Chains A and B, each alone.
With several copies, the nearest count.
Chain A
Amino acid sequence: MEQKLFEIVEEPIAIELIIKKVEDRNAGAITTFIGTVRELTAEKRTIYLEYQAYKPMAEKMLAKIGEEIIQKWEGTKVAITHRIGSLDILEVAVVIAVSSPHRKAAYQANEYAIERIKQIVPIWKKEQWDDGEAWIGDQLENVRYPNAKPDIKDETND
């Protein structure tokens, strides 16, 4: 039963299957983050979203985030699935599951994962509003790829 821990999919995500991937007899805590399509952002009303990915690189970057987490928080297991294509309000775009012997690490590692996804994973979101559309970039409202340079350098040295 080959399982991909880090995956870009086009079909709806079965949340419980992602959780199953990180189950561990010595983990007392599993955290999940479920990113869903929200209707209102600031005063704009979203009709639906379209996600596009550079799929092989996106899966590679998700796996890289998993490796970073295992380095930082010992004993954790991580699985991340991101959906692409057209998503309606309430649909699930991303599921991050982290198991750990200790709950503090499960929360911290999970939050780290979503922050890193928004920095380095080549996935793009196009908003379809009731009055127009646009590809969204730099949603962190930061300078480009914040703090990512050292990791990028590591990456090129792989």
Chain B
Amino acid sequence: MIEILLFAQLQEEAGTDNITMDLSNVTVKKLKEQLQNTYGFQQIKESMIAVNESYALDDDIIKAGDTVAIIPPVSGG
């Protein structure tokens, strides 16, 4: 089970600030595909995935208990 934090546009689309997916030991790339297939978020392709508050690359592995977040294009400042 992986809990995934949502922000901004994605949070509004989903109507919640977090979702849970029944996965573990998947790559970031795989997770993005699953999110795309299951939720159809508009911004998945242009988003980054953060694992434990750091940006992750496509090949990084997500383990159970990791804190995962979808980071759509940022606009602070």
Do chains A and B directly touch (beta carbons under 8 Å) in the complex? yes
* B50 located at the interface, meaning its Cβ lies under 8 Å from any Cβ of chain A in the complex: yes
Query: Are the CB atoms of B72 and A124 closer together than 8 Å?
Result: yes
CA distance A122 to B71 in the complex (A): 7
A124 partner, pick from B5, B7, B55, B56, beta carbons under 8 A: B7
> B77: which A residues are within 8 A, CB to CB?
35, 82, 93-94, 114, 117-118, 121, 123, 139
CA distance A35 to B75 in the complex (A): 12
> B12: which A residues are within 8 A, CB to CB?
135
* B15 located at the interface, meaning its Cβ lies under 8 Å from any Cβ of chain A in the complex: no
B53 partner, pick from A57, A93, A126, beta carbons under 8 A: A57
Query: Are the CB atoms of B57 and A152 closer together than 8 Å?
Result: yes
- A57-B69, A135-B9 as given contacts; A121 in contact with B56, CB under 8 Å: no
Q: Number of A residues contacting the other chain (C-beta, 8 Å)?
A: 37
Query: Are the CB atoms of A137 and B55 closer together than 8 Å?
Result: no
What 0/1 pattern do residues 31 to 74 of B give for CB contact below 8 A with A?
00000000000010010101101111100100000000101111
What 0/1 pattern do residues 94 to 131 of A give for CB contact below 8 A with B?
10000000000000000000100111111111100000
CA distance A100 to B26 in the complex (A): 45
CA distance A155 to B53 in the complex (A): 10
> A126: which B residues are within 8 A, CB to CB?
8
B74 partner, pick from A56, A114, A137, beta carbons under 8 A: A137
> B9: which A residues are within 8 A, CB to CB?
124, 135, 137
CA distance A79 to B50 in the complex (A): 24
The chain B residue with its CB closest to the CB of A50 is B8
Nearest CB on B from A16, distance (A) = 21
A residues near B (Cβ < 8 Å) are 35, 51-54, 56-58, 60, 82, 93-94, 114, 117-126, 135-139, 144-145, 148-149, 152-153, 155-156, 158
7 residue pairs, one from A and one from B, having the closest CB atoms? A123-B76, A137-B73, A124-B8, A152-B55, A57-B53, A138-B73, A136-B75
